[in-house]
Structure 1
Amino acid sequence: MISNVLVGESTDLEKASFYKKTYLHVAFAILAFIGVETFLLNTVPAELIYMMFAQKYAWLLIIGVFWLASILASKWSLSQSKSTQYFGLGFYVVLEAVIFLPLIYIAVLQSGGQVIFQAATLTIAMFAGISAVAFTSKRDFSFLRNIIVIGGFLSLGLIVGGIAFGFNLGLWFSVGMVILASATILYQTSKLKDSYTTDQYVGASLQLFASIMLLFWYILSILNRRS
């Protein structure tokens, strides 16, 4: 049974336990992503990977399916059943691995994995720094919510338009998305105590994992352009 006690209203011991479990699950999700991505790179034919980004309408279909499945995975991760929660998180990890496949494939071809390591290092460093700000600052970051929602819809529209009409969004779009992903991590981290109960650490980890992967995607995209 899911506890009805919000993290912010729980004891210090319960808060510490929630945060520990949440970030452990984020770490395990990242490790699982690496494992699934490695498996896909070694098993999926290069021709099929190429088709994922060469055929614009196929990529639109993939993004649409990913968006719908992400909503479902997020819902599952907040279920009262622990097995359903873990299924939602695992399902989302696999989805991310599939979406990342073309980008990772290009990075491996261009640099043999060096760019991936650099992007991962930058992502982890930024996530750690943003999390530290969220936990130590006494500021209220609620104002970021509207910015994130509006920015999310605008970016999605630009991505769909770029795929449908064949225009390149360019470097500055990726930079803007890095800023948006960073703002999302800051907002989500600062609101963990107000948004989740003490037993919803799996759902909390999924949301943080999703924002980390968004940040990683655009950092890797920027570094791919430079390599």
Structure 2
Amino acid sequence: MEEIQQPQHNLFISDLESDRKVAFYKKTYTHLALAVLLFVLVETIFFQIPPLLEFALSLTQGWTWLLMLGGFMLVTSYAEKMALTSHDKNKQYLALLLYVIAEAFIFIPLIFMAMMVADEGGFNILNQAAILTLSLFSGLSAIVLLTKRDFSFMKSILAIGFFVALGLIIAGTLFGFNLGLWFSVGMILLASGSILYQTSNMVHKYSEDQYVAASLGLFASLMLLFWYILSILNRN
């Protein structure tokens, strides 16, 4: 996780007056909503391109999945770094766009599976996953916004958790064992912690001009939560 850099001429959100804080929060969540809508649009477009769909589905086994995962991590890491270290709005928007496109691509196999699982096409599963994700995300965000607690202490815990999870994913792919339901449950807990951390950053760590970067952090945690909730529902 990259450190958030603040220019000297901008105050942290926690140091602003109430009306300016509220304005920042509105901009951040508006951009988060737009990022989710863009994700849906890009995903829909991807599913209308058979060669791209077949290519993404072909990358779900063995070392090719690790290659896809590695590429996703490189792109998203670059996007996060660009957003967090730059106060140029154009770069922040470019970073958010790159992140949304990368998420849409890596989600292709999981959404395809959801559409194939249910007899009626799987859209019920997608709707259920979306409702559960948004409900949990809203509840966790409310905890931070109402209590104003600083969850920055979770950074090290989350970093260790993600490294352990990545190691298990690599081991499971290379040695062919299923990580199972409890791994997905653990990842939901990790994603929930990430939402608390990112929302806390929005309240305490960002400067007033970084609402696009703040929305990217929240979007990343939201999509991680959606991934593993959808993974669990796909098992039924």
Shorter-chain-normalised TM-score: which range? over 0.9
Query: Quick one: which of 61, 81, 84 aligns to 1:75?
Result: 81
- 2:94 maps to 1:84: no
Hey, what's the Cα distance between the residues in 2 that align with 1:133 and 1:201? 20
Task: For 1:132, give the aligned amino acid.
Answer: A
Task: For 1:24, give the aligned amino acid.
Answer: T
SS of residue in 2 equivalent to 1:221: helix
TM-score by length of 2: 0.90
Aligned residue for 1:222?
232
Hey, what's the Cα distance between the residues in 2 that align with 1:132 and 1:33? 24
- 2:38 maps to 1:32: yes
Structure 1 residue 142, shift from structure 2 partner: 3.4
Instruction: Summarize deviations over 1:19-64 as a string: whole Å, max 9, x none.
Output: 00000000000000000001111213453243121x3111111111
Percent identity, please. Answer: 51
Superposed, which structure 2 residues align to 1:45-64 within 5 Å?
45=51, 47-53=54-60, 55-64=61-70
Hey, what's the Cα distance between the residues in 1 that align with 2:226 and 2:198? 17
SS of residue in 1 equivalent to 2:58: helix
Superposed, which structure 2 residues align to 1:50-199 within 5 Å?
50-53=57-60, 55-78=61-84, 79-111=86-118, 112=121, 113-137=123-147, 139-199=149-209
- 2:32 maps to 1:22: no
Task: For 2:45, give the aligned amino acid.
Answer: F
Kindly tell me: are residues 211 and 68 of structure 1, through their superposed partners in 2, closer, same or farther at Cα, counting changes over 3 Å? same
SS of residue in 1 equivalent to 2:177: coil
Unaligned ranges ≥5, structure 2: 1-6
Size of the aligned set, in residue pairs, is 225
Instruction: Summarize deviations over 1:126-150 as a string: whole Å, max 9, x none.
Output: 0011111111125443332222111
Hey, what's the Cα distance between the residues in 2 that align with 1:40 and 1:138? 40
Hey, what's the Cα distance between the residues in 2 that align with 1:25 and 1:139? 23
Hey, what's the Cα distance between the residues in 1 that align with 2:10 and 2:68? 36
Hey, what's the Cα distance between the residues in 2 that align with 1:50 and 1:205? 29
- 2:43 maps to 1:43: no
Is this contact kept in 1: 2:154–2:197, CA < 8 A?
Answer: yes
The worse-fitting range, judged by mean Cα deviation, of 23-32 and 75-84 is: 75-84
Unaligned ranges ≥5, structure 1: none
Hey, what's the Cα distance between the residues in 1 that align with 2:48 and 2:70? 26
Hey, what's the Cα distance between the residues in 2 that align with 1:10 and 1:134? 17
SS of residue in 2 equivalent to 1:20: helix
